[in-house]
Structure 1
Amino acid sequence: MSQPFIDLRDVTVRFGAADSETSTLALDRTNLRIDTGDFVALVGPSGCGKSTILKLIGGLLSPCSGGVIVDGREVGGPHRTRIGLAFQNPTMLPWLTIRENVMMPLKIVEPFRQDYQAKKKGEYAERADALLAQVGLKGMGDKRPWQLSGGMLQRASLCRALIHEPQLLLLDEPFGALDQFTREELWATMQNLWMTQRPTVLLVTHDLREAAYLATRICVMSARPGRILEERSVDFARPRTVEMSYAPDCSELVQALRLRIAEARSDLASAERTGQAETDSMMETV
C-alpha cells in the first residue's frame, strides 16, 4: 500500500484538563488517510470535530496523542508542504486591492517570497489576474474588497488560497454563508480549479449536496468525541453539474449520508441523557 499524503493515526484531542468539569474530548482515536490529489469531504453533526481535524492537518492545533502525518512528515516539525486555506469568512485587507490580497501568500511562502520584491512582482501580478479571470473576476484586480459582493470575495479568497500552487488545500465551509445560487456557481468554480491544479483537498461542510458534487470521497464523522464512522467513494463522472446533483443516484447518496448523520446525532442525544441521569443520581446520593 502506498503512503498516503495525509495520515491521522489514533489522534485524540481534548480541550481543557482531563480532570476538569469543563473538559471536552473533541476527537478520540481518530484515523484518516487521504491520498495525493484526492478531494475528501468531511461531514457530520455540529461539534463532531470536523474543523478540529482540519486545524490539526494545517498545523494550527496539536493532538494530545497520536500522529498527524502530512507528505511523509509529522506536522509541527520541519516540512515544506505548501498549504492553501479558505474559510467561511473571506477576510480581505481593506486597504489593499483585490489583486494585492490575492498575492499575499507570495509574500510569505517560499520559494515565491524571495522573488516577490524583485523582478517577478509583475509576473506574480499577471498570475493573480489570470486566476481572477478563471473564476469570473476578470478586470476586478484593482477593486477594493468593499466594492465586491460576498460571492465575489469568496472567489477571490479561492484565488488567494491557490496562487502559490499549494500541494494541500484546506476548506472550512467556504460557501456556507452564501445563497444557494452563488454556492452552486462556486461549486463549479472549485471543481474547475481542482481539476486544473489537482491539489489534495480536505473540505469541511454541512451541505451534503456540496460534498457529493465536489468530493471523490466523503467521510462521515460520529458525534463528539469524533471518529470516522463511514467512508463513501463518489464516482460520478466529471465535470459534474448542478443538474447531476439532483439525479437519482446523487439523491440516493445524499439521503444515505443524511440518515447516517441523523443516527450519529441520535447517539449523541442518548449519551447526553445518560450522562445527565448519572449526574442527577450522584447528586441525589450526595
Structure 2
Amino acid sequence: MQNPIKDKRDHSQDPLLQVEDLSKHYVVKKNLISSKTLIKAVDNISFDIAHGETLGLIGESGSGKTTTGELILRLIPADTGRVFFQGENVLQMDEKNMRRKRKDIQIIFQQAQETLDPKVTIGEIIAAPLRIYRIVPATEIEAEVDRLLNMVGLTGKDKNKFTYQLSGGQKQRIGIARAIASRPKLVICDEPVSALDVSVQGQILNLLIDLKKELSLTYLFISHDLKVVQHICDRIAVMFKGRIVEMGDKEQIMVNPRNDYTKQLIEAML
C-alpha cells in the first residue's frame, strides 16, 4: 500500500507547481421538471511546472482551462485534488496563509478593462500590491511604480491616467505590471492576448517572454490559440472536456501528436 501524499514536501527536489488529481464538478438543473446534469469542468487532472518553465494549457472554450487556473489560485474551491506550490498544498492553507501565498502566485486576466478599477489612476492600481505585500518602503512606492511602468513599455507619465484613456494593449500592460509588482514566482496568464488586435498580440507576447527572462518567472499560459502557445511555451498540455488528453514538449505535440483532438487543433491552425 502506498504512503499517503503529505501536505508539505521538501520542495528543493520538486517542480515549482504540482497539480494532482484536481477536479471541479457542477450540478446543473435547467428547469423544475428536468433531471440534474453533472458538468465535469475539471476532471481529475495532474501536471507539474518546473522552475522557469512555461507550460501552455490549451483547449476550446469550455474545456476547463480557466477553471484550472482559478482552482490553483483558490478563486473557486476544488472538489478533490492537491495543488503543491513550493512543496505546500495551497488547497489546505487557511485564509491568512493563502493571502500571503498569493504574493508569489499572480494572474494576468483576459479582459484587463474588467479587472482594473476605472475610478483610480494607473499609479494607484500598480501601487496597491506594493502596499499590500510591503514590497518596498512607502517612500519608494512612486519610484517603483515608475520602474514597473517602464518594464512593461510605458512611462512614469502614464501613472496619472485613468483606464478609459488607454488602448486595449496599454490596459493589458497595466495588468501585467500589477501582476509582477508583488515579485511573484508563478504567473497564470489566462488568455492574455486573445482580446487584442493581432498586431498588438505579438508585442504583448514578446513582453511576457522578456519579463520571464528578466524576472526569472514561471508561467502557466492558458489559451485556445495553438499558434500563440507554440510561440511562448516550452511544453503543452491539451485539455478536452475537463481532462488533459495529451501533454509533452511543444515540438513533440506539434510534430507527432497522439490524440485525435490534438490533431484537430493542429489541422485547424494550418
Q: TM class by shorter-chain length? A: 0.7 to 0.9
The runs of 5 or more residues in structure 2 that have no matched partner are 1-11, 30-34, 266-270
2:238 counterpart residue number: 220
Q: Aligned pair 1:13/2:24, yes or no?
A: yes
Aligned counterparts of 1:42 and 1:182: Cα–Cα separation in 2: 21
TM-aligned CA deviation for residue 233 of structure 1: 4.1
Does the CA-based 8 Å contact 1:12-1:26 persist in structure 2?
yes
Helix, strand or coil for the counterpart of 1:16?
Answer: strand
TM-aligned CA deviation for residue 258 of structure 1: 11
Does the CA-based 8 Å contact 2:108-2:188 persist in structure 1?
yes
Correspondence list, 1:73-92, <5 A: 73-76=88-91, 77=93, 78=97, 80-81=100-101, 82-90=104-112, 91-92=115-116
1:125 counterpart residue number: 142
Correspondence list, 1:60-75, <5 A: 60-75=75-90
How many residue pairs get matched? 240
- The structure whose Rg is larger is 1
Q: 1:149 aligns with which of 167, 187, 200?
A: 167
The change in CA–CA distance for 1:75 and 1:35 in structure 2 (over 3 A counts) is: same
Any idea what the Cα deviations from partners look like across 1:135-171, whole Å, max 9, x if unmatched? 2211311111111111101011100000110111111
Does the CA-based 8 Å contact 2:131-2:138 persist in structure 1?
no
TM-aligned CA deviation for residue 263 of structure 1: 4.6
The change in CA–CA distance for 1:165 and 1:24 in structure 2 (over 3 A counts) is: same
TM-aligned CA deviation for residue 207 of structure 1: 1.7
Give the AA of the match of 2:74.
G
Q: Aligned pair 1:46/2:61, yes or no?
A: yes
2:121 counterpart residue number: 97
Q: Aligned pair 1:135/2:155, yes or no?
A: no
TM-aligned CA deviation for residue 37 of structure 1: 1.8
Correspondence list, 1:130-209, <5 A: 130-138=147-155, 139-209=157-227
**What TM-score comes out, normalization by structure 2 length?**
0.80
TM-aligned CA deviation for residue 132 of structure 1: 1.0
Give the AA of the match of 2:108.
A
Give the AA of the match of 2:143.
E
Helix, strand or coil for the counterpart of 1:203?
Answer: strand
The change in CA–CA distance for 1:257 and 1:66 in structure 2 (over 3 A counts) is: same
Correspondence list, 1:243-258, <5 A: 253=254
Aligned counterparts of 2:144 and 2:230: Cα–Cα separation in 1: 30
1:33 counterpart residue number: 48
Give the AA of the match of 1:261.
T
Superposition CA RMSD, Å = 2.8
Does the CA-based 8 Å contact 1:220-1:261 persist in structure 2?
yes
Aligned counterparts of 1:253 and 1:263: Cα–Cα separation in 2: 11
Aligned counterparts of 2:217 and 2:245: Cα–Cα separation in 1: 22
1:239 counterpart residue number: none
Aligned counterparts of 1:257 and 1:156: Cα–Cα separation in 2: 39
Aligned counterparts of 2:128 and 2:178: Cα–Cα separation in 1: 7
Give the AA of the match of 2:127.
M
Any idea what the Cα deviations from partners look like across 1:151-202, whole Å, max 9, x if unmatched? 1010111000001101111111111110000011111111111110012211
Aligned counterparts of 1:175 and 1:183: Cα–Cα separation in 2: 5
Percent identical residues: 29
Does the CA-based 8 Å contact 2:245-2:259 persist in structure 1?
no
Any idea what the Cα deviations from partners look like across 1:257-281, whole Å, max 9, x if unmatched? 99743558xxxxxxxxxxxxxxxxx
Correspondence list, 1:228-267, <5 A: 228-233=245-250, 253=254, 260-261=261-262, 263=264
Aligned counterparts of 1:137 and 1:98: Cα–Cα separation in 2: 11
